[in-house]
Structure 1
Amino acid sequence: MRIDLVDQDQYAQSGPPLDQLRWLRENDPVYRHDDDPPFWAVTRYEDVVHVSRRSDLFSSERRLALFHEVPEEQRVFQRMMMLNQDPPEHTRRRSLVNRGFTPRTIGALEQHIRDICDDLLDKCSGEVDFVTEVAAPLPLYVICELLGAPVSDRDKLFSWSNRMIGAQDPDYADTPGGEGGAAAMELYAYANELAAQRRANPRDDIVTRLIQPDEHGQTLDENEFDLFVLLLVVAGNETTRNAASGGMLALSDHPEQWERLVADPSMARTAADEIVRWVSPVNLFRRTATQDLTLGGREIKENDKVVVFYSSANRDSSVFPDPDVFDIGRDPNPHIGFGGGGAHFCLGNHLAKLELRVLFEQLARRYPRLRRTGEARRLRSNFINGIKELPVKVN
């Protein structure tokens, strides 16, 4: 079988190459993939979890966590972002940021999220694009709430996130073949201004909490805070948005599962996890080996590029019975759609699952006859398993 796990045109056409990933899991689970530079493709659940939990062996910091290569001068700046740090620095930063994501803080948002979903669904009539009318606005409204930012800023946040994540998609790129750098700098400046406003006029929001010292007197400095907001806007938007869009596509492709949800909307709780497993909104992350080691029977050298594929691990039959069956009642469901554990397990996983649960619960109750009316248009990205457009009829 010809193996190419990074062809972005392939992702734009049909999403992750599940047939290739299945073959690799069964025949060559730590695969030496030709590229520039070559990398090890890690496709089995057990190995993805191992790489995720051993930051000492597989670094996010040496060559950063995203797949593409960047010059060292850019790495120096990007290492200030939690995504691109290893313990103990990552541990320090995460402990500061955790203050804004306690279970109590997230749980208190449920009614607000329900109100947002109802407001979005109130505006839907006839045929609509599920992505732009429902899936994309939901996390952006929630992010605005978390940041204490005006809801009117959501369109700017939407544009910045699209341009950074979709840098290789002609619909979103700043420039042909661009890397979203202009969007990142605009968002960085926005975060800087937001922090300045809260220093002058503190409020009861996550921004105020994060710029104030914790009980040990530690705080995020200006660059750390601005980079955290950038990460929050992109990660908090893209994961939920594309899980919601991909979940709606899965439910339309499996009408018997939609009927189960309509018959019992409380199944949205397990449906949220199954949607994340099935969609795997984040397809991959990169790590760098910190020493010579063995993984899956393969000899990996220090500084080798190691790439974990969550979309593959979440279809591993050694963990998930009937992994290619979409089952909204699947339980247990130990998916790793929010990461394989360890230092970089998704900070906002509880928030994302809450948003998905409430959204699909309300959809099932309010629009039981909802149906897809056209084909989905996918994002040209091997990083985010994204959908740009999904036409549906809601009544």
Structure 2
Amino acid sequence: MASQDGRPDRPAPIDVVDPGLYERGGIPHDRFGWLRDNDPVHWHADPDERVPGFWAVTRHSDVVEVSRRAELFSSAERGAMFTETEPADLVLYRLMILYMDPPDHTRRRSMVNKGFTPRMIKQLTEHVRDIAHQLIDAVAAKGEADFVEDIAAPLPAYVICELLGAPIEDRDRIYRWSNQMIGFDDPEFSGSREAGADDTAAEPPPARSGGSGGSSPHKELGRQAAAEIFAYAGELAALRRAEPRDDIATQLLRSDASGHALTDEEFQLFVLILIIAGNETTRNASSGGMLAFFEHPGQWRRLLDDRSLLRTAPDEIVRWASPVNLFRRTATADTELGGKRIRRGDKVVVFYGSANRDERAIDDPFTFDVGRDPNPHLGFGGGGPHFCLGTHLARLELGVLFEALLERMPDIRLAAEPRRLRSNFINGIKEMRVEFTP
């Protein structure tokens, strides 16, 4: 039985937010397929019974509608992450672009955009290529490697160092911070703080999106990591003001044509987002893409025979891997979506992993096709104000990395079953042992 507004009288048994599902088998495509066909805007119980449920949005068209109607589906109202956030905490979090709505978001994005212009990205190409070959050099003679630890993870961390004008040796810290910030549901990552770390460090924004409510997100994941990022970004800001360079940090700290510049706190929050988003998306698209090639060897042979397919392959890799699974919005007014009545204040969660396999929008979506063109995937978001700022950079990194792998490791093969991240937010692989001819 269902009530008049479409909500079931009791929670439906289907579950698409259990982190264990993703750890055991990746995106639960069977469950998402059922929802798309039968209940595409589905009232879903929250993992925490003390808080209200949410609308699970699974069809491509509905995800696009939510993404593009920021005035109706807000990121600022209650935050963009799955978890519930205390009202007092939102004051700080709304300084992050991820938690903003227009016009604040539009103004902030115009300031940040200057660090991601085609000119800024293009001048990274050769540097990214050098990094990719250096990473391969480090393992080439061994004939085996952990694709995640040795190749997929270091590449974006190195690139972030380049963007920020940070020393390359900071890569290990960036990698560790990112693990701690996104691995809140995975004991291996959430418990990986260095011995002696103070869990009551300065107040940082969380990056948690697991179960809602309960104890403070700060204590459950990465308070120390976020506090370290804040301190790191503060030192970097002081250094770049004293010694300007041609990097994104210097660009962001300069006043724009209107005389506006990021405050220290705003800059610190941007660095935190860059470390998480800039690292996790490319890292998990790379490893997820490599796994896709292992599972579809014919597509790897296509790339070996025709390198021009590297133009379209990055988007298909992102569609297939869907490295970011979900984001949350909050309805600002009563409305209708997918035939369901959405009430003001309702939590609305969009699932990109589901939308990227929607037969209504994508031809033959369960076929991995590196030549797919056009490719209307939502792996970089569903359009609208929050479309991924680093889209061009991600495409560059993926294209350059796989070009290097084709050249240097044409016979790369899977050596052991991959280990996945326990997370409903990031579709990640923690470890993937590979072999190749030394």
Pairing 1:163–2:180 present: yes
1:127-276 → structure 2 map (5 Å cutoff): 127-174=144-191, 178-276=220-318
Give the residue type in structure 2 aligned to 1:38: G
- The Cα of 1:47 is off from its aligned counterpart by 0.5
Pairing 1:327–2:369 present: yes
Taking the aligned partners of 1:307 and 1:341, their CA distance within structure 2 comes to 15
- The Cα of 1:338 is off from its aligned counterpart by 0.4
CA root-mean-square deviation: 1.2
Taking the aligned partners of 1:109 and 1:225, their CA distance within structure 2 comes to 22
TM-score normalised by length of structure 2: 0.89
Q: Which residue of 2 aligns with 1:74?
A: 89
Q: Which residue of 1 aligns with 2:387?
A: 345
Structure 2 SS opposite 1:302: coil
Match of 2:74 among 48, 59, 62: 59
Structure 1 SS opposite 2:430: strand
8 Å Cα contact 1:174-1:182 kept in structure 2: no
8 Å Cα contact 2:356-2:377 kept in structure 1: yes
Percent identity for Structure 1 against Structure 2: 61
Q: Which residue of 2 aligns with 1:94?
A: 109
Post-superposition Cα deviations, 1:323-375, rounded to whole Å, max 9, x if no partner, equal 11111111110111000011100000000010001111111122111101111
**Which stretch of the first structure deviates more once superposed, 294-303 or 357-366?**
357-366
8 Å Cα contact 2:180-2:192 kept in structure 1: no
Query: How many residue pairs get matched?
Result: 395
Give the residue type in structure 1 aligned to 2:70: S
8 Å Cα contact 2:22-2:421 kept in structure 1: yes
Taking the aligned partners of 1:175 and 1:29, their CA distance within structure 2 comes to 38
Q: Which residue of 1 aligns with 2:35?
A: 24
Taking the aligned partners of 2:75 and 2:227, their CA distance within structure 1 comes to 22
Post-superposition Cα deviations, 1:44-88, rounded to whole Å, max 9, x if no partner, equal 000000000000000000110000112112221111100001001
Post-superposition Cα deviations, 1:130-159, rounded to whole Å, max 9, x if no partner, equal 001000000011000000000000100101
Taking the aligned partners of 2:304 and 2:413, their CA distance within structure 1 comes to 13
Q: Which residue of 1 aligns with 2:204?
A: none
Post-superposition Cα deviations, 1:298-319, rounded to whole Å, max 9, x if no partner, equal 0000000000000000001011
Post-superposition Cα deviations, 1:152-180, rounded to whole Å, max 9, x if no partner, equal 00100101000000011111115898222
Taking the aligned partners of 2:341 and 2:178, their CA distance within structure 1 comes to 38
Give the residue type in structure 2 aligned to 1:230: L
Q: Which residue of 1 aligns with 2:350?
A: 308
TM-score normalised by length of structure 1: 0.98
Q: Tell me, which stretches of 5 or more residues in structure 2 are unaligned?
A: 1-11, 194-218
Taking the aligned partners of 2:354 and 2:412, their CA distance within structure 1 comes to 30
8 Å Cα contact 2:180-2:190 kept in structure 1: yes
Give the residue type in structure 2 aligned to 1:197: L
Pairing 1:4–2:19 present: no
Q: Which residue of 2 aligns with 1:287?
A: 329
Taking the aligned partners of 1:181 and 1:174, their CA distance within structure 2 comes to 12
Q: Which residue of 2 aligns with 1:121?
A: 136
8 Å Cα contact 1:371-1:393 kept in structure 2: yes
Taking the aligned partners of 1:119 and 1:127, their CA distance within structure 2 comes to 16
Give the residue type in structure 1 aligned to 2:415: T
Structure 2 SS opposite 1:287: strand
Taking the aligned partners of 2:333 and 2:296, their CA distance within structure 1 comes to 45
